[in-house]
Structure 1
Amino acid sequence: MSLVIAVVPVTAFAQNCTIAMCKKTLEAAIIDPGGDINRIIEQLDSMGAKPTKILLTHAHIDHAGGTAALAKQLSLPIIGPHKDDDFWIQALPQQSAMFGFPAVEKFTPTQWLDDGDKVQVGDVELDVIHCPGHTPGHVVFYNKENQFAQVGDVIFNGSIGRTDFPKGNHQQLLESIREKLFPLGDNVEFVCGHGPNSTFGNERLHNPFVSDHRG
């Protein structure tokens, strides 16, 4: 494994903020810093990690709420999500009030991501896969060598993302999972936005929403 992965549950929604660190260079990306940024920084320090960027799968408050403050505190670029989630970024202050989160700032990402883009974390390259459905601009980060993916709220261990938010699309979500994620291979282990890890193979067998036996 050339990647070291640490998961830090943040916010009242227990969102899985993920630190992906290159074992060789110790450079790290912080994926979905939804809040509790002191807890994230403590984890970085305990790993001896050198944070170089923030990556966002999508812009719901529990995934992106701590982004502006963390980027400012550590002088980090913000990479992602896809531009179709910009309306969610602009609504972050309203999202924070609606869900009882601390007040947060909206921001403009340093770089938007598109399907097929690559993101470098030290010597490790992450592929960007645009997976709309939960939100229109949702992206997944995947590394073939480590058989690892960070899937945000696209798919969970035994479930899938909600599609009842503005611009959600249930059919699009199913297509993202079956046509873009499952073909990556049964052995790929994923960290999801909430709850325990799983593999695509396990979800193909057992997930009641997208398993193979559902056709």
Structure 2
Amino acid sequence: MTESSLAVSVATGGAFAENGYLVRDSGAGVAILVDPGAGAPELLEALDARGDRLEAIVLTHAHVDHVEGIPAVRARHPDVPIHLHEADLPLYERAEAQAAAFGLQVDSLPRPTHRLEPGVPFALGGFDLDVRFTPGHAPGHVILVSEAAGFALVGDVVFLASIGRTDLPGGHLPSLMTSIREQVLTLPDDMRLLPGHGPETTVGHERRHNPFLVPQYRGHFA
């Protein structure tokens, strides 16, 4: 596997402008969808255009904006596995209630088929994505890290100049800050962070400039 064989595409959509990702190993001709929200149809078009085989849906967590595109994906790929950390299964099962709380609707979701296990790499073609447990925004939140390719899919843990909200059910600010300190800021400074909302950033940029993390801005750590 070479770095050039690994590619990531993003599609943004929905009421919360959620970022869904298509991650593909072009050398092996396989791909996964990470957090397919309202932008799922665009991701499916990109998948079809390249002719890769979809191997899995992988969820960083189960808030409704990150899962609402799953029915569209399953309509085209009815047998594709769905991977989720078990601690977020209650959120996943309440997706319709989550949507209703924001005045939205979501189609009924198929049940997840596989559990994501922190510390057990997720294999795709010729590379592995490290699964790191990062609760705080959601009880079963994980991030997916490719140190070889230099990117991390961080869901709603950290954003450009911000962090994930913790006022939703299952949120816990001290846990989120611990997750960022132990699982994100321990990555190399040049690691690309691909978040669930907004533009990408890097570990080093957030270490130096994120007002929630930098002590001189009353953050918790540098």
Among 151, 157, 163, the residue aligned to 1:160 = 163
User: 1:98 aligns to what?
Assistant: 101
- Find runs of 4+ consecutive structure 1 residues off by over 6 angstroms: none
1:39-73 superposed Cα distances (whole Å, 9 cap, x missing partner): 22112123333211100000001001122441343
Q: Kindly state the Cα deviation for residue 36 of structure 1 after the two structures are TM-superposed.
A: 4.2
**Cα distance in structure 1, aligned partners of 2:195 and 2:173:** 18
Distance 1:41 1:101 in 2: 23
**1:178/1:212 CA distance change after superposition, 3 Å:** farther
SS in structure 2 at match of 1:28 = strand
Pair 1:46 & 2:52 matched: no
Q: Under a length normalisation based on structure 2, what TM-score does the superposition of the two structures give?
A: 0.91
Q: Which residue of 1 aligns with 2:83?
A: 79
Cα-to-partner distance string for 1:124-146 (whole Å, 9 max, x where unaligned): 11010010000010000001100
The CA distance in 2 between the partners of 1:20 and 1:73, in whole Å, is: 18
RMSD, matched Cα: 1.5
Q: Do the aligned partners of 2:151 and 2:193 also contact (CA within 8 Å) in 1?
A: yes
- Shift in Å at residue 13 of structure 1? 1.4
8 Å Cα contact 1:71-1:77 kept in structure 2:
no
CA distance in 2, matches of 1:84, 1:139: 10
**After superposition, what is the alpha-carbon deviation per residue over 1:158-181, rounded to whole angstroms, capped at 9, x for unaligned?**
100000011210011011001111
Matching of residue 32 in structure 1 with residue 41 in structure 2: no
Among 125, 133, 138, the residue aligned to 2:136: 133
Aligned length: 214
Deviations 1:159-208 (A, max 9, x none): 00000011210011011001111112111101100000000011000000
TM-score normalised per structure 1: 0.93
Sequence identity (%): 38
- Determine if the alignment matches structure 1 residue 22 to structure 2 residue 25: yes
Point out where structure 1 has 5 or more consecutive residues left out of the alignment. Answer: none
- Cα contact 1:8–1:43 (8 A) shared by 2: no
